[in-house]
Amino acid sequence: MAEKEISQAVISRLPRYLRYLGELKDEGVERISSQELSGLMNVTASQIRQDFNNFGGFGQQGYGYNVEYLYTEIGKILGLDKKHHLIIVGAGNLGQAIANYMNFERRGFIFTGMFDINPELFGKKIRGMEVRPMEEMADFVKQNNVDIAVLTIPKGEAVLVAAKLSDVGIKAIWNFAHVDLAVPKEVQVENVHLSDSLMRLSYMIERYESEVANKE
């Protein structure tokens, strides 16, 4: 089947739809129209219908969308019905926080291992998972069919580690290092550049204040 390419903009909205639908589901809501969801989420009903129709019809004329069904289908689109083995590379503050904070199992991600270069951390248990030496990472990925590596290490190391992970067949890298990774196209990369995000916030403050100043 010749799939039409789904735009990045649409994909970025899917997790938010999922969140709202999950809440509606928990509240026991059975069906919802694009109009109602529009009011709730502050996006146009038209966009909602266009977005969902990228993946085929999930709704029914005159009725709307079944919340439970829509929730399940969007989950499938996002691959949340699949199990993914995941390791965290870098057991510092951020790595530990991610391990403890993310509800990996809830979304089908199986926390499988944790690695660091610092010998003081070896054997330490983070969320029940002992920290292993970095040298063991490559073999571990191969032997345990690890799909995803979370990179919570400094940017210098990140480039090298990403290359090594690519070599041993990692499928995807969730990159918290402040650097653009160059990996083969078969390795998917999602960046979380926290400082970029904070700068955007700083910009918003700046802009708002200059707007107010100009109005006077």
Partner DNA sequence: TAGATTGTTAATCGATTAACAATC
- 157 CB-near residues (< 8 Å, 6+ apart): 117, 177
Quick one: which of 74, 90, 127, 84 has its CA closest to 106?
A: 84
For the bound state, the minimum distance from the C-beta of residue 38 to DNA, rounded and expressed in Å, comes to 9
Among 65, 71, 109, 111, indicate the residue that binds its own copies (CB under 8 A): 109
Does residue 103 bind its own copies (CB under 8 A)?
yes
Instruction: Assess contact for 166 and 105: CB atoms under 8 A.
Output: no
Helices 34-41 and 8-26 sit at what angle, rounded to 10 degrees?
Answer: 100
Interface region with its own copies, contact rule CB under 8 A, candidates 31-39, 43-51, 76-84, 133-141 = 76-84
Does residue 43 bind DNA (CB under 7 A)?
yes
Among 19, 30, 40, 57, indicate the residue that binds DNA (CB under 7 A): 57
84 vs 132, beta carbon nearer its own copies: 84
For the bound state, the minimum distance from the C-beta of residue 56 to DNA, rounded and expressed in Å, comes to 7
Find the DSSP H helices in 27-136.
34-41, 45-53, 67-77, 93-101
Phi/psi of residue 168, nearest 5 degrees: -95, 15
The residues facing 8 across adjacent strands are none
Residue type, 127: R
Does residue 193 bind its own copies (CB under 8 A)?
yes
For the bound state, the minimum distance from the C-beta of residue 61 to its own copies, rounded and expressed in Å, comes to 28
Among 35, 60, 100, 144, indicate the residue that binds its own copies (CB under 8 A): 100
For the bound state, the minimum distance from the C-beta of residue 178 to DNA, rounded and expressed in Å, comes to 22
Does residue 129 bind its own copies (CB under 8 A)?
no
Phi/psi of residue 91, nearest 5 degrees: -100, 30
Give the separation between CA 195 and CA 178, rounded to whole angstroms.
8
Find the DSSP H helices in the chain.
8-26, 34-41, 45-53, 67-77, 93-101, 137-143, 155-167, 194-215
Q: Choose the contact partner of 91 out of its own copies, DNA, none; CB within 5 to 8 A by kind.
A: none
Return the structure tokens found at 192: 């979380």
Does residue 70 bind DNA (CB under 7 A)?
no
142 vs 207, beta carbon nearer its own copies: 207
Residues at the site binding DNA, with contacts judged by CB under 7 A: 7-10, 32-35, 43-47, 49-50, 52-53, 57-65
Residues at the site binding its own copies, with contacts judged by CB under 8 A: 1, 3, 6, 11-12, 14-16, 18-19, 77-80, 82, 84, 92-94, 96-98, 100-103, 107-109, 147-148, 171-172, 174, 178, 186, 188, 190, 192-208, 210, 214
